[in-house]
Amino acid sequence: MGTLFIVSTPIGNLKDISFRAVEILKSVDIVLAEDTRKTGLLLKHFEIKEKKLIIFFEANEESKINQVIELLESGQTIALVSSAGTPLISDPGFKLVRSCVEKNIKVTPIPGASAVMALLAVAGLPTDKFVYLGFLPKKPGKKEKMLLKATQLGMTVVFYESPFRIIKTLEMLNSFHPGMELRVVVGRELTKKFEEIIRGNPNEILEKLKGKKIKGELVVGFR
C-alpha cells in the first residue's frame, strides 16, 4: 500500500519551501498537480527531474479519485500539491483524502506555506481563535449575509478576495458599522517582491486603495 503526501509549496517566495517537501517531491512516484505547468516549473527549480505529473484540479477531482486510489493500492507513493500554499485550503483534495481515509490508505501532511496563516501572523489581530471563510460568494446578497454574520462572531475572521471585488467588499464591511471599530488587515502578494500589508478600519483602507490599480492575490482579516 502506498502513501499519499499532502505537500505544501511556496505561495510566492520559492525559498519558503521546506527541506522535507523537496525530499518528498524527489522521492514519490507521482505528483498530483492542480496546474502542471506551475508545478513543472517548481520541480525544475529544485532540480527534480523525470517526475510523472497528473493534473488534479477541482473540475476533475471526482473523476480522478478511483485512478489515484488504484495507484496507491498498488504501492505507488503520491504527492498532492496545489498551485501554491497548502493543498485542500480552498483548493482541491478533500474528496481524495476522504476516500483514502475510508480505505485505510496512509495520508501524511508535509506542512509549509499558507497565505491565511502568513496574514494572521502579521495582522496584529487576536489569533487565539479565528474563523476562515475561504473565498467569499460572488453574489452580493450572499456575500453580505456571510460577512454580516462574521462581524457578529466576536473573533478574528480571515478570507480570500479578488482584487476586482476588494473595494465592494470593504464598502460592505464599512456599511455594517459606519465610523467603525472593525480593525481590518489586507495582505497583497504575500512573500513576493511587491508584498503589501495595509491596516486600518474599512474606510481608512478604502482611502489608501483609492485610485490604485489593485493586482495580485489578496488575503483579508478583520476583528
Amino acid 179: pLDDT: 55
Q: Please, are residues 157 and 221 in contact by the beta-carbon 8 Å criterion?
A: yes
Q: What architecture does CATH give domain 3-110?
A: 3-Layer(aba) Sandwich (3.40)
Radius of gyration of the chain (CA): 19
Task: Delimit the domains of the chain by residue range.
Answer: 3-110, 115-222
pLDDT digits (tens, 9 = 90+) for 133-173: 999 999 999 999 999 999 999 999 999 999 999 999 999 99
Helix (H, G, I), strand (E, B) or coil at 2: coil
Helix (H, G, I), strand (E, B) or coil at 181: coil
Domain 115-222 top-level CATH class: alpha beta
Mean pLDDT (whole number) for 85-100: 96
Q: Which residues pair with 51 in a beta bridge?
A: none
Q: Please, are residues 157 and 130 in contact by the beta-carbon 8 Å criterion?
A: yes
pTM of the model: 0.93
Amino acid 211: pLDDT: 83
